Chains A and B, each alone.
Chain A
Amino acid sequence: MIVGEQKPLEEIMGLLGDARKVLIVGCGTCVTVCFAGGEKEVGILASALRMKSKLEGHSMEVDEVTVQRQCEWEYIDPLQPQLKEYDVVLSLACGIGVQAMNERFPDALTLPGLNTTSLSLPVEQGVWEERCQACGDCILGLTFGICPIARCSKQLLNGPCGGSQNGVCEVDPDIPCAWQLIWERAVAFGQVERLLEIQPPKNWSVSRDGGPRKIVREDLRLTHVE
């Protein structure tokens, strides 16, 4: 899932500047399940901002709303009538939600209240580990289901490197060596010979190196250009 973390209260106060009336817009999807920008977090932040601004002598009026998905027009369109009442909108969605708001409602300035951090797996309650970098050319089929792009510090395609020590990465002993894990999986499946094949450089043009990516599915579009 997309995982985000709330910005420090101080930073959010700085972003809001001298706004008097603020609408916090939460999102009911990814950031709700990672406890960063759902209805509950919106309520907590609104309450905190009301109190902090009052204590600092420039009382803010802060209202709350949470939509099911901030990254789809259908879900954010109903917000339009109320937006003009606010000096500024603070989004607790991921970066996509913040941009969706700004694109759809150009007259209202929507600011981010979260840092969108990663595509992560909640390995246990309260712990999210990065598992995917959306590189656009999945190689999990070659690496026994463990991604070296997301999980190897060097993003090696032919690992491990010399920095792999006792199963952990030299960058940080808390990072398991992805290539050690891949090797163990290969051993478990009795297919270590598959790892002897040298992988050529990866096609990074379908990742960020090719510029912003775009998918167009003509079969799904409502209007066709004949």
Chain B
Amino acid sequence: MAEKSVSEPRILAFCCRYCAYAAADLAGAMRLRYAPSIRIVEVPCSGRVEVGEMLHAFERGVDGLMVAG
């Protein structure tokens, strides 16, 4: 992740392809505004996300993490 200003949080979101990722797509299509802090990773299902992977994200320095499905 590119280093930006220190104050801007970096949040990783694991999004289910069929629910939250599609919702994010729709949000884009609807031109909704939301914080630029989010980095979306598409997963086939939110059940795919492992605790170990979430911990790795924190190890690498993310400030927050969302699992959305």
Binding site for B on A (CB under 8 A): 40, 43-44, 47-48, 50-51
B36 at the A interface (CB under 8 A): no
Interface size class of B (residues with CB under 8 A): under 10
Q: Which residues of B contact A50 (CB under 8 A)?
A: 59
* In the complex, residue of chain B having the shortest beta-carbon distance to the beta carbon of A39: B52
A51→B52 CA distance, assembly (Å): 13
A-B contact pairs, 18 of them (CB 8 A): A40-B50, A40-B51, A40-B52, A43-B52, A43-B55, A44-B51, A44-B52, A44-B55, A47-B52, A47-B55, A47-B56, A47-B58, A47-B59, A48-B55, A50-B59, A51-B55, A51-B58, A51-B59
Min CB–CB distance A46 → chain B (angstroms): 9
Chain B: residues with CB nearer than 8 A to chain A?
A: 50-52, 55-56, 58-59
- How many whole Å from A9's CB to the nearest CB in chain B? 12
Q: Within the assembled complex, what's the spacing in Å between the Cα atoms of A50 and B59?
A: 8
CB distance from B61 to the nearest CB of A (A): 10
Within the complex, the shortest CB–CB distance from B39 to chain A, in Å, comes to: 19
For the complex, give the distance between the alpha carbons of A44 and B58 in Å: 12
| Minimum CB distance partner of B57 in chain A | A47
Tell me the smallest distance from the CB of A32 to a CB of chain B, in Å: 14
**Additional 5 contacts, C-beta under 8 A, given A40-B51, A44-B55, A51-B58:** A43-B52, A44-B51, A44-B52, A47-B52, A50-B59
Q: Which residues of chain B are near A40, meaning CB under 8 Å?
A: 50-52
Q: How far is the CA of A44 from the CA of B56 in the complex (A)?
A: 9
Chain A residue numbers with a CB within 8 Å of B58 are 47, 51
Min CB–CB distance A49 → chain B (angstroms):
10
Q: How far apart sit A129 and B59, CA to CA, in the bound complex (Å)?
A: 36
CB distance from A91 to the nearest CB of B (A): 19
